[in-house]
């Protein structure tokens, strides 16, 4: 997967994605909102919320697919024993 510039394309509404914030050299998982509470386009991650108009987030990419768990791992995650 490659980084996508927000100038090139935006994620789908309410899609969780990886974002890059160059000002802090930070990569985060965030959710994109096309119109958050009538305030316009927003990136949200806990207390760190960014309006798209402030240009703090410059790039994004889809999250990778989750790992495929073995039967043993599945049992453990469901409270079973190995």
Query: In sequence order, what are the residues at sequence separation of 6 or more whose Cβ sits closer than 8 angstroms to the Cβ of residue 53?
Result: 40, 41
23 part of a folded domain: yes
Query: In sequence order, what are the residues at sequence separation of 6 or more whose Cβ sits closer than 8 angstroms to the Cβ of residue 41?
Result: 10, 32, 33, 34, 35, 51, 52, 53
41 part of a folded domain: yes
Q: Which residue has the tokens 């890059």?
A: 20
24 part of a folded domain: yes
Name the domain count of the chain: 1
pTM: 0.71
> In tens digits, what is the pLDDT along the chain, a chain of 82 residues?
799 999 999 999 989 999 998 988 989 888 888 887 777 777 776 656 666 566 688 999 999 998 887 888 777 778 766 5
Give residue 28's domain range.
4-77
């Amino acid at each position: 997967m490659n980084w996508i510039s927000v100038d090139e394309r935006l994620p789908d509404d309410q899609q969780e994605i990886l974002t890059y914030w160059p000002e802090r050299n930070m990569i985060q998982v965030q959710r994109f909102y096309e119109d958050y509470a009538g305030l316009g386009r927003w990136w949200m991650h806990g207390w760190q919320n960014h309006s798209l108009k402030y240009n703090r987030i410059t790039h994004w990419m889809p999250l990778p697919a989750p790992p495929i768990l073995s039967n043993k791992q599945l049992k453990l995650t469901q409270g079973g024993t190995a």
